[in-house]
Amino acid sequence: MANQSATAFWLSVPGKGELRQTPLQLSDIEAPVEVKAHFSGISRGSESLVFNGRVPTSEHGRMRAPFQEGDFPAPVKYGYSSVGEVVAGPAALKGKTVFCLYPHQDRYVVPASAVHVLPEGTPVERAILAANMETAVNGVWDASPLPGERITVIGAGVVGALVAYLCQRVIGTDVQLVDTNPQRQTLAEALNVSFALPDNAQPDQDLVIHASGHSDGLNTAFSLAGMEGRIIEMSWYGEGSVPVSLGGAFHSQRLTLRASQVGRLPPQQQPRWDFKRRLRLALRLLSDPALDVLISGESAFADLPHVAADIFAPDSGVLCHRIRY
C-alpha cells in the first residue's frame, strides 16, 4: 500500500464542503484492503440533513456512518455508498470490484470484512444504490406486504421508489406511488408502478408506506389507509417537531403507525439475517437496468464542493447523484 494519503470530501461548516488531504489509515486494521474509488453515491436523505447541519444532538451517536471522521454538526467526513477496485490486500480480493459503506474519498483502507464483492450482473455504476436498496428492503420487511394487498407508497424519492418497486413484485399486489411532483410519473412508469398526485391517490388502502420526509405526506397516509390499515413511517425528519393530525381517521379507522429504520433488523428477520446478508441481497437486487432511472445526475469528485449546495437544496429535485472519481 504505497499511497499514504488520499483526498476526501469534508463538510467544513453546515452548508459548505471542501476537499481535504487525509492520511490512509494503515495501522490497527486487521486484514486491510486498499480500495481505489470509482464512484460514490449521494442521496437526499440523511446526507442532506448532515450537509445542512440538521442532525439533532440526541441522534449524533445513532447517525454516525461507518468510517465517519469528525463529529456533527461539523467538520465531519460523511457518506456511505462507495464502489471501487481493491488495489491491495488479500489475493482473493485484489482486483475485485467492491461496495463499501465509506464516505466520499478517492482511496481508502478498510478491513477486508467491510467490503462486499459486487455480484455478477450488478454494474459498478448502479451499485452506488446499494445503501438505498438496503433501506428499502428493511422497510418492506417492516411493512410485510401480503399477496393481493392494495399498497400506497408516498414519496417518490430514491427510497420510496425502491419500496414501490419491491412491493410491486409481491404477487397480486396493486401498488401506487404518490408524490406532489407530477414529473415523478416518468420515474414510476420506468419502474412499472402506477403513479398519482395526492389528490388523486387511491383511498381505502391495506398498507401505506410513507417516505416523503414531510409531515403533509404522513397526514396523507392517514387519509388513504382503510379500516385497520397499516402505516409504515420511513421518513427521517432531523431537528424540529412534526405536526401530525391524529384527530380524524387515525382513531376512527383504527390505524396502526409503525416506524422503520435501517439501523435495526426487524425482529422476525433477526434469527437468520444480519447486516452483511442484507447488503448482499441489496446488491443482487440492483441487477435490473430499470433502476438506472434513480440516478439523476453525475459530477466529477473535484467538482463536489462546488455542486454540493445545489444537490442538497430543498427544491433541487435530485434523486441519487453519482460522484465520478
Domain boundary among the residues 216, 240, 259 is at 259
Residue 215 within a domain = yes
Q: Are residues 210 and 290 in the same domain?
A: no
Same domain, 78 and 119: yes
164 phi and psi angles, rounded to 5 deg: -60, -40
Q: Please, where are the H alpha helices in 30-174?
A: 46-51, 130-143, 158-167
Bond preceding residue 119 cis, omega within 30 of 0: no
177 plus 226 within the same structural domain: yes
- Which residues face 42 on adjacent strands? 321
CA angle 31, 32, 35 (to 5 degrees): 145
Question: What's the whole-model pTM score?
Answer: 0.94
CATH number of the structural domain spanning residue 200: 3.40.50.720
**pLDDT value at residue 314:** 84
99 and 151 assigned to the same domain: no
Where residue 93 sits, what CATH number does that domain have? 3.90.180.10
In-domain check, residue 264: no
- Judge if 150 and 245 occupy the same domain: yes
Which among 56, 163, 69, 151 is positioned nearest to 110, based on CA atoms?
Answer: 69
Q: Examine the pLDDT at 186 and tell me if it is beyond 70.
A: yes
Does residue 277 lie in a domain region? no
What average pLDDT does range 71-92 have in this prediction? 97
Would the pLDDT of 310 be above 70? Answer: yes
Residues 249 and 184 in one domain: yes
pLDDT 10s digits, 222-277: 999 999 999 999 998 876 678 888 887 899 999 999 999 999 999 999 999 999 99
User: What percent of the chain clears pLDDT 70, i.e. is strictly above it?
Assistant: 98
In this predicted structure, the answer to whether residue 2 has a pLDDT above a threshold of 60 is no
What mean pLDDT comes out for the span 276-296?
Answer: 98
Which pLDDT score, from 0 to 100, does residue 26 have? 66
The tens digit of pLDDT for each residue in 194-207 reads 999 999 999 999 99
Does one domain contain both 49 and 141? no
Give the domain extent around 213: 132-259
Q: Which of 80-84, 241-245, 319-323 has the lowest mean pLDDT?
A: 241-245
Number of domains in the chain: 2
Tell me, yes or no, whether 120 and 13 share the same domain.
yes
Residue type, 69: E
Residue type at 12 in one-letter notation? S
pLDDT at 3: 52
Does 271 reside within a domain?
Answer: no
Q: Which residue has the cell 447488503?
A: 279
Q: 157 with 44: CB under 8 angstroms?
A: yes
35 & 109 share domain = yes
**Residue 25 pLDDT more than 80?**
no
pLDDT for 5 beyond 80: yes
Q: Are residues 188 and 80 in the same domain?
A: no
Same domain membership, residue 72 and residue 24? yes
Separation CA 79–CA 312 (nearest Å): 14
Q: CA 235 to CA 212: how far, in whole Å?
A: 6
pLDDT band with cut points at 50, 70 and 90 for residue 28: confident
Domain boundary among 241, 259, 277: 259
